[in-house]
């Protein structure tokens, strides 16, 4: 699905989505061309708990929690610099 289709299908909801097809542009913005909605939520707390569970089980999946009132996802990719403990 396109982001606009997700917005129409789940108005005023928090959604957990997976990027199916995405790329990063020159401005380090992640462009989500195709996404798969996994679950909808009425609040961000429940959405983030579901995200954490899925991410813990498979950290290589590109998952996001977004509210459908956002016209554009506007996800900025940040490079990790440092040591993880």
The answer to whether position 83 is within a domain reads no
* Pair 33, 39: CB distance under 8 Å: no
Domains in the chain, number: 1
The answer to whether position 82 is within a domain reads no
Print the SS3 string covering 1-31: CCHHHHHHHCCCCEEEEEEEEEEECCCCEEE
What range does the domain containing 37 cover?
3-76
Share of the chain above pLDDT 90, in %: 89
The answer to whether position 70 is within a domain reads yes
pLDDT tens-digit profile of 39-71? 999 999 999 999 999 999 999 999 999 999 999
The answer to whether position 20 is within a domain reads yes
Instruction: Tell me what the pLDDT averaged over the chain comes to.
Output: 95
The answer to whether position 46 is within a domain reads yes
pTM over 0.95, yes/no: no
pLDDT tens-digit profile of 2-32? 999 999 999 999 999 999 999 999 999 999 9
Nearest to 74 by CA among 28, 39, 26, 41: 28
The answer to whether position 38 is within a domain reads yes
The answer to whether position 58 is within a domain reads yes
DSSP bridge pairs for 36: 18
Residue indicated by tokens 């509210």: 67
The answer to whether position 84 is within a domain reads no
């Amino acid at each position: 699905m396109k982001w606009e289709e997700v917005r129409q299908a789940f108005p005023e909801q928090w959604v957990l989505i997976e990027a199916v097809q995405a790329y990063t542009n020159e401005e380090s913005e992640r462009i989500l061309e195709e996404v798969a909605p996994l679950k909808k939520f009425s609040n961000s707390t429940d959405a983030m708990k579901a995200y954490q569970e899925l991410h813990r089980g498979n950290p290589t999946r590109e998952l996001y929690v977004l509210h459908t009132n956002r016209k554009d996802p506007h996800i900025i990719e940040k490079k990790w610099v440092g040591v993880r403990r």
